[in-house]
Amino acid sequence: MKRIISIILSAVVCVTAAAQNVRWHDAAELTVIGKPISTAKAFTRIDTAQYKFANRTIDRYAGYSTGLAVLFETDSHVIRTKWTTGPSNSGANMTAIGQKGLDLYIMKDGKWVFAGVGSPDMVKEPFCNHEGTIVADMADGTRQCLLYLPLFDKVDALEIGIEEGAVIRPIDNPFRYNIVVHGSSITHGASAGRPGMTYAARFGRDNGFYCMNLGFSGQCKLQPEYAAYLADIKDVDAFIFDVFSNPKAEEIYDRFDAFVDIVRKAHPDVPMIFLQTERRETRNFSLAREKFESEKQSAAAKVIRERMKSDKDIYFITSEDFLGYEHIATVDGSHPSDLGFTYMLESISPKIRKIFRKYGIR
């Protein structure tokens, strides 16, 4: 009996302490960045009521929080988060932190420095409700925060917890230019270790560019619905395309020009930078994969080089060094790990910045 009372008492103490210490704020009222076109729901990258895609998988992915981030400043010594995602288990080739977790960076000496992750609860089914401390025991002072949202899940609600008496408020988006990145799972972020580690997020964060992520895992096949969405975006300064990873060679030949036509009509002078698809490690020993993948790469090179003859604002970045040369930079043969994305960025980042400079994007 004594033990039961003691348990009840300590539970009461716990709840009281938590209630005293943490005040929860709806992150929807802070600055949410990453959407090329605004949406009704706070944490969805594309408004799926407004835009319909070819299949339900794409519709689902469109409603994900991929590439979105919340910007705020606070003088709290602790940052907690409470968020709700879909019920899915993690994919075999990604971490749950990347898939349904949060990833916080704090501005320090002019750079966004990693501060901590919101680790999703993968023990209590259905894996929807998550809560945790991202960072605690910080020094006094007001800090600017950049919190990336899950890459492969929807976020229905997100609250940020700060200590009683501390202040939290939105800050302006500090990233410059509107860079839209559209592509496959590689763009979507499989298999980044945490949400801020996609190549689009890293390229944006490291260079101060506003990169928006329209990666659609396995579903990026030069479909006209994507082109129509891209055409609807106002004020794009550049497109980066990873559109040769998912379609077969025939689909590349069949669809590429129609896709570019739609985007070009809406954005006549915007630079369009196409990344060749990586040389997948699944080719190392499979003759069938070698044939299939090299046909894709050769189709991509052909259609783009042909188009470049008549369009001076189209660029092509070849991919021979995207995964390094030691065959260790993917999780499963196809999807770059953080090491793969590092190799990829070492290759593409200087090339893209060089192109950007021609357009005054710096």
Binding site for a copy of itself (CB under 8 A): 89-98, 101, 106, 108, 113-117, 119-123, 135-139, 143, 191, 193-194, 197, 202, 281-282, 284-289, 327-333, 337-340, 342
Our CB check for a copy of itself shows the closer of 41 and 349 to be 349
Shortest Cβ 31–a copy of itself spacing (Å): 20
Name which of 18 and 136 has its Cβ closer to a copy of itself.
136
Omega before residue 298 within 30° of 0, cis: no
Burial environment of residue 98 by CB neighbours within 10 A (0 to 12, 13 to 18, 19 or more): buried
Q: Considering beta carbons, is residue 225 or 295 the nearer one to a copy of itself?
A: 295
Q: Work out how close the CB of 256 gets to a copy of itself at its nearest, in angstroms, rounded to a whole number.
A: 28
The least distance separating a copy of itself from the CB of residue 129, rounded to whole angstroms, comes to 14
Which 3 state secondary structure label does DSSP give 291? helix
Shortest Å, Cβ 262 to a copy of itself: 36
**Residue 260 neighbours by CB under 8 Å, 6+ apart:** 227, 272, 307, 311, 314
Residue (48 or 95) nearer to a copy of itself, CB: 95
- Smallest distance from the beta carbon of 338 to a copy of itself, in angstroms? 4
Cβ-based nearer residue to a copy of itself, 31 or 88 = 88
- The shares of helix, strand and coil residues in the chain, as percent rounded to the nearest 5, are 35, 25, 40
Q: Is the peptide bond before 247 cis (omega within 30 degrees of 0)?
A: no
Report the residue number, 15 or 136, with the smaller CB distance to a copy of itself. 136
CB of 139 to a copy of itself, least distance (A): 6
Q: What tokens appear for 315 in the block?
A: 């660029």
Query: Residue 103 CB, nearest distance to a copy of itself (Å)?
Result: 9
Closer Cβ to a copy of itself, 24 or 114, answer by number: 114
Minimum CB separation of residue 93 from a copy of itself in Å reads 6
CB of 320 to a copy of itself, least distance (A): 17
Q: What are phi and psi of 67, to 5 degrees?
A: 80, -10
Distance CA 215, CA 104 (A): 21
Residue 106: HSE in the Cβ half-sphere, 13 Å Cα cutoff: 19
DSSP state, residue 278: P
Q: Is 55 exposed, middle or buried (0-12, 13-18, 19+ CB in 10 A)?
A: exposed
The three-class DSSP label of residue 187 is: helix
Across 117-155, b (16+ Cβ under 10 Å) vs e yields bbbbebeeeebbebebebbeeeeeeebebbbbbbbbbbb
Tell me, what amino acid is at 30? L
Q: Which is nearer to a copy of itself, 141 or 268 (CB)?
A: 141
Distance of CA 240 to the CA centre of its chain: 14
Q: Which CB, 115 or 168, lies closer to a copy of itself?
A: 115
